[in-house]
């Protein structure tokens, strides 16, 4: 039976108990992270945990223990559950208190929970993705990895119903990111992606990609693309913790390039994979 992290304890499934008055349940009042595990090792764990504490600070929430303790607890959880390929999900809510919008008193402490998910040992290589453009109607603090994901859920569902893997979000025709990913276009050998701002989540995979680009001498322009631009890109790809770099074959029913991963995307994928902790048998 899987173990879960519940504040500072490791408990079994049937011992996890969350109050109906948890502010995560009422308001989505909290933050979260997903950290990928490759060969039993968390990838970019410090960066993810760092972002979680930054998100918590941005919503004025103080977690009951610090990033080092979080890292050691998540490491233990992965060991307890013997995760080789998979991920760990961790969230913190502002705690449990009678439902009023303003923060509860100082005596109420955040509730931290974490679980692990195992992936098949032989990774399933996902097909190049199809995207559907969707209006980005989210709030103006997309830099916070908040539990409030209603607009992301609605956008993903709209894409899903159109037979697409992901929504390509845009604000008045300016592409921001995906509902759970960052977006990149390639034109004449240059990678374009939205700059880091309050309009996007500063993805950890995005950060690794920027580092890879620097290392392999790949030009990058942190400039937003317009929705019109994306249809004429030579290549397009998306990034996230769970999928790494995923090539995009189609946007709104229009083929990107030849509809197959292009040379820039492939080179970047190789540079990215070289950074992963331990290659699985088929990688």
Known catalytic residues are 145
Select 133 or 181, whichever has its Cβ closest to ligand PMP: 181
Question: Which residues are paired to 239 by β-bridges?
Answer: 182, 245
Please tell me whether residue 205 binds ligand PMP under the rule CB under 6 A: yes
Q: Are 60 and 89 in contact (CB under 8 A)?
A: no
Cα–Cα distance measured from residue 212 to residue 151, given in angstroms and rounded to the nearest whole number? 31
Least distance (Å) between residue 237 CB and ligand PMP: 13
Instruction: Choose, by CB under 6 A, the member of 91, 113, 181, 265 that binds ligand PMP.
Output: 181
176 binds ligand PMP (CB under 6 A): no
Contacting ligand PMP within 136-175 (CB under 6 A): 152
Which residue of 55, 133, 180, 193 would you call a contact of ligand PMP, by CB under 6 A?
180
195 by Cβ neighbours in 10 Å (0-12 / 13-18 / 19+) ranks as exposed
Q: Is 177 in the site for ligand PMP (CB under 6 A)?
A: yes
Q: 53 forms bridges with which residues in the sheet?
A: none
Q: Which of residues 3-42 bind ligand PMP (CB under 6 A)?
A: 34
Are the CB atoms for 234 and 174 separated by under 8 Å?
no
Residue 201 found at the interface with ligand PMP (CB under 6 A) = yes
Helical ranges in the chain per DSSP H: 23-27, 45-58, 67-80, 150-161, 204-216, 227-231, 263-273
Binding residues (CB under 6 A) for ligand PMP: these are 34, 152, 177, 180-182, 201, 203-206, 239-241
């Amino acid at each position: 039976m899987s173990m879960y992290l519940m504040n500072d304890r490791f408990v079994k499934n049937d011992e996890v108990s969350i109050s109906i008055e948890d502010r995560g349940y009422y308001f989505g009042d909290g933050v979260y992270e997903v950290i990928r595990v490759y060969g039993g090792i968390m990838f970019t764990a410090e960066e993810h945990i760092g972002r979680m504490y930054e998100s918590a600070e941005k919503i004025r929430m103080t977690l009951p223990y610090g990033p080092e303790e979080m890292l050691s607890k998540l490491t233990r959880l992965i060991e307890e559950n013997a995760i080789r390929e998979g991920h760990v999900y961790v969230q913190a809510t502002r705690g449990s208190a009678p439902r009023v919008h303003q923060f509860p008193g100082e005596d109420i402490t955040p509730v931290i929970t974490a679980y692990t998910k195992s992936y098949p040992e032989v990774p399933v290589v996902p097909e190049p993705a199809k995207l559907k453009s969707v209006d980005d109607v989210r709030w103006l603090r997309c830099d916070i990895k908040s539990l409030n994901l209603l607009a992301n859920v609605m956008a993903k569902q709209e894409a899903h119903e159109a037979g697409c893997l992901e929504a390509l979000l845009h604000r008045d025709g300016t592409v921001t990111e995906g509902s759970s990913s960052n977006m990149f276009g390639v034109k004449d050998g240059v990678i374009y992606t939205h700059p880091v701002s309050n309009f996007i989540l500063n993805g950890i995979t995005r950060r690794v990609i920027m580092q890879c680009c620097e290392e392999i001498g790949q030009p990058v322009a942190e400039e937003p693309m317009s929705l019109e631009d994306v249809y004429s890109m030579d290549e397009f790809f998306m990034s996230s913790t769970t999928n790494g770099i995923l090539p995009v074959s189609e946007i709104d029913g229009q083929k990107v390039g030849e509809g197959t991963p292009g040379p820039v995307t492939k080179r970047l994928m190789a540079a990215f994979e070289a950074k992963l902790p331990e290659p699985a048998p088929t990688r």
